[in-house]
Every structure is written in structure tokens, then in C-alpha cells.
Amino acid sequence: MLLIYDGPVEVPSLLAQWYDAERERNYGAMVTFVGTIRDEGGIEALSFDIYRPVLERWFEGWQKKLAEQNALLAMAHSRGDVPVHQSSFACAIFSPKRRVALEMLDAFVEDFKANAPIWKYDVIDGRRLYAADRSTPMEGSGLLSAKE
Amino acid sequence: MVTVEFLGPIGKEPVTLKADSLKEVARQLQQDPDIAKWLPQCAVAVNDTLVKDPDTPLKEGDRVSLLPPVCGG
């Protein structure tokens, strides 16, 4: 399940919804991660662009990988502005036993940071500034920079 | 013709080019300094599938997307 919110992710209701949907299905473990915007660097908010078609393919790859271990994945992310002390990202992995969910959540969030097609901007004095110094080139970058 | 779109912070309108391979797209984009500076850091998708081979052939109507460095969360 992949959800995109315009603005902050509504974390309490979303986590409750994920919990209620899955606990009856005999998963023994639900591990969650929530990312919340910190007040630092004079920002009012962070802002996000998402390229959904490639995000969906990346997410489907992870769903398949988790299904091989009988685990299930849910994720939500914001598009547009998310003010300080609100959340822009939430994910959960459900598995029959805890070990798979704990380990795969770490791997999933690391790959999310490196390869999910999402761009972050600081919002300062109402201006949107690309967070270039915190961004990572995706796998396979530079394909079009080679000279003949 | 193929369409090239520039995602996220690149901030350029899509362009259409005459090209039958990614190599030819690369050759043309390298002529524009505003775009060339992004190329070393951009991943490339053709019709929304990420590709890793510069010899990937292109056909009429294909859509090439440039994906600059990411930072979700």
C-alpha cells in the first residue's frame, strides 16, 4: 500500500488504520518508522516533489522482495509543504515473526533514502530551496554525461 | 521525435529531440550548459523504467526522464 498525502502525513490515524487492517491477519510483528520535520537551520517547512510512476515501480519491487519472506509493506509520503514538527514519511512492515520486519525495515528505509524518486526542499522565508547537500544520486546516475 | 523531461529541482520545461538512442540524447543535452551540469548526477528513465545502458535504443514518441539526486523522508 502506497499513499501520497498533499501536505503532512496524518500519522495517528494512519498507524491506527494499518494496525487494525493487519492484526487480524495473524502477523505477529508490526514495525513502523515515522519521519518528522525537525526545527533546524531556520526552516519553516520542508517541501517535496515526487515522481509517482517510478516511485510505484520501486515500491512494487520492495513489495515483491518482502512477499518472498511472507511480509507486507505499507508506506505514506507527503507531496508539497510539511511544516516543522509534522511528519512527511511513515512506513510499516508486517511479518509473522519480528526478525524479518526489524531487519527489512532498516534495509527498506536506507534504500528509500538512496533510490526513491523524491526531491526535498527547505522552505525559508517562503522560498523553496533544493536540499542539494543532503541529496544522493540514484543508482546508475551519470548515464548521459559520458562523452563520445 | 522523443520528449525529454527534467524532474524535481532541474526546473526546465520538457524538450523534444530527434534521437534514436540515449547516446544521441546525451550528445544534444551536453550542448546546453544549464542541463549539462546536472547530467553526471542524473539517473535516466525511458517511459518510466530506469535504464542503465547508454546504447538503449529509442523509438518515436518515447519519453526520457532525468532524475536528479533524491532525498525522501
Confidence at residue A71, expressed as pLDDT on a 0 to 100 scale: 97
Is A111 a domain residue? yes
For A87, the domain range is 2-132
pLDDT tens-digit map of A70-88? 999 999 999 999 999 999 9
Is A23 a domain residue? yes
Helices and strands, number each (H, E), in chain B: 2, 5
Supply B34's cell numbers: 544549464
Count of domains for chain A: 1
When CB atoms are compared, the residue of A88, A136, A147 closest to B69 is A136
- The mean pLDDT values, 10 residues at a time, for chain B of 73 residues are 97 95 96 95 97 94 98 95
Is A143 a domain residue? no
The secondary structure element, H or E, covering residue A4 is strand A2-6
Supply A42's cell numbers: 531556520
Residues in chain B within 8 Å Cβ distance of A9: none
Of B2, B72, B73, B61, nearest to A144 by C-alpha is B2
Residues of B with CB under 8 A from a CB of A: 7-9, 22-23, 25-27, 29-30, 36, 39-45, 48-54, 65-73
Cβ within 8 Å, pair B73-A113: yes
pTM: 0.95
pLDDT tens-digit map of A109-133? 999 999 999 999 999 999 999 999 9
CATH of domain B2-67: 3.10.20.30
Q: Return the half-sphere exposure (C-beta side, CA atoms, 13 A cut-off) of residue A61.
A: 13
Q: What are phi and psi of B13, to 5 degrees?
A: -70, 150
Supply A134's cell numbers: 543532503
In degrees, rounded to 5, the angle at the alpha carbon of residue A50 between the alpha carbons of residues B44 and B63 is 35
Alpha carbon of A46: minimum distance to chain B alpha carbons (Å): 10
Is A96 a domain residue? yes
Q: Which residues pair with B43 in a beta bridge?
A: B67
Alpha carbon of B23: minimum distance to chain A alpha carbons (Å): 7
CATH number for the domain spanning A123: value is 3.90.1170.40
Rounded CA gap, B48 and A72, in Å?
Answer: 25
Alpha carbon of B62: minimum distance to chain A alpha carbons (Å): 15
Is A146 a domain residue? no
Q: What are phi and psi of A144, to 5 degrees?
A: -100, 10
